[in-house]
Amino acid sequence: MQRRTFMQMASASALAAMLARRGWAEGAPMPVLSEEEQYELDTVLAEIEALGPGMIDMAVMEDPGEPMAPEFAEDGTPIVRSIISAGSMSAVFPIPPITDELKEELTGKKYWNLPPDQREVPAWPAITSAPDYLHLAMYAAPPQEFVLSAELLALLAARNDFVLDMEAPVVVFGLRGCHLPDGVNTTGWVREQALTEGAPTHLKLDCTMGLWRPADGMIALFRAGTVPAVGYMFKSLVTGGSGTSLLPTGLYEYRRGDHLAGKPGVQRGALRMQGTYPVLRTAATLTYNPFLQTTAWTLGSVHNIHAAGMTFVYGSAGCQVIQGDYVRPERLKTKGAWDEFRQLAGTVDADGGALEDGQTRFQYVLLTGLEAALAYQGEAGFAETYRPLRFGSSGPRVAALQGRLIRDHDGAVKQLSENGVFDTATSFAALIDSKLSQGDFASTVVAEA
């Protein structure tokens, strides 16, 4: 088997040369973009701008060894290769420079403008390949219908060693791959809510996000998307995966702020991701299958929580998005489920203005609908063995895991310590572990008691 690092891809200069071979006109002026085109372009460029040009280089030893020579397929697509050895590993990814040529190519790459018979259908990997589901493959499939409650959320959080601030007004949560009943975009505050589990499609808002009020155990649910939309996955094939990526499940921190601040499509009263974290990218296909040679784990950025739009063609390059939009031209007031989310979360006042007080820091628990359905079913086998660790977990079990990873992999990941917090360095170390145990960098979730 070809042994890989997370991703060893062509250098940024080689990638630029590849893009030039696709026939861009040097120095041609950028055309005037529609509001939709400008928003889509700014969305993809946001992560590229945040990560910066050149190479992402995270969790690398001081002397990672010589990188592999760039390789290209016949159509000019960079071939992803990786290697891992006992003494070193590398996690590198080319970030292209932002040029007018790149902007033009991204703008013209429109999935939904293709004839239906020419659109590649995005595929969600099977449970034995999907990075957020691998640890659940051992369990028999539960009924797809289940009922979500604050008690069920508390159980899942405890089993994942998520330490939540139960004094906060609200905790934000997301369930990847489960949806509200047809026609229901928001529930308001409820004690419990029926949901249907099913794999995400990247084609529509088929996930659920919500607010959990610890003080009284009430929850409010919203139609949402927690995976990138196919239009953005397709657009980012131009850059070999830069600009669009899949956020793995875990516990994340957000703060109140604006999404795409300073851009024409700014979304005020959104929630902005904090800190560093891993993401999964796809460089050549419309699937986030970590066992493919053209996928890679790297650092991510700008995976904010914001409005998805009002139609089924939702807007997300990896952000966590809720059905709804902003009223033009002021873009202060909102509509759809996003309007209710902002009001109930207390990020804005009734007129869409920023609040001077109220909650500013938010924890976001992202899990899968399948985990919630299994927990609701309550089979003894699941209850006895479901104790995964993942990004955001903390406590003695995490410290013990970190100690084992340090011993087993001889310090392959710098910055990894026994701090008891499942952080970015621990995520990369867990990926090395899965490489050796499962044959590839399969998942950041560690399924161990």
Q: With contact defined as beta carbons under 8 Å apart, do 178 and 369 qualify?
A: yes
* pTM (2 d.p.): 0.88
Q: What confidence score (pLDDT) does residue 438 get?
A: 83
pLDDT one-digit tens code per residue, 292-303 = 888 888 889 999
What pLDDT is attached to residue 285?
A: 95
| Whole-number Å distance between alpha carbons of 380 and 31 | 61
What pLDDT is stored for residue 86 in this prediction?
A: 29
What's the pLDDT score for residue 156?
A: 98
pLDDT under 70: residue ranges of the chain:
1-31, 53-94, 410, 449
Determine contact, residues 236/244, Cβ cutoff 8 Å. yes
pLDDT at 66: 40
Residue with tokens 């340090």: 406
pLDDT of 348-374, one tens digit each? Answer: 877 777 777 889 999 999 999 999 999
Pairing outcome for strands 320-322 and 305-307: parallel
Sign of CA dihedral 415, 419, 424, 429: positive
- Distance of alpha carbon 161 from alpha carbon 421, whole angstroms: 10
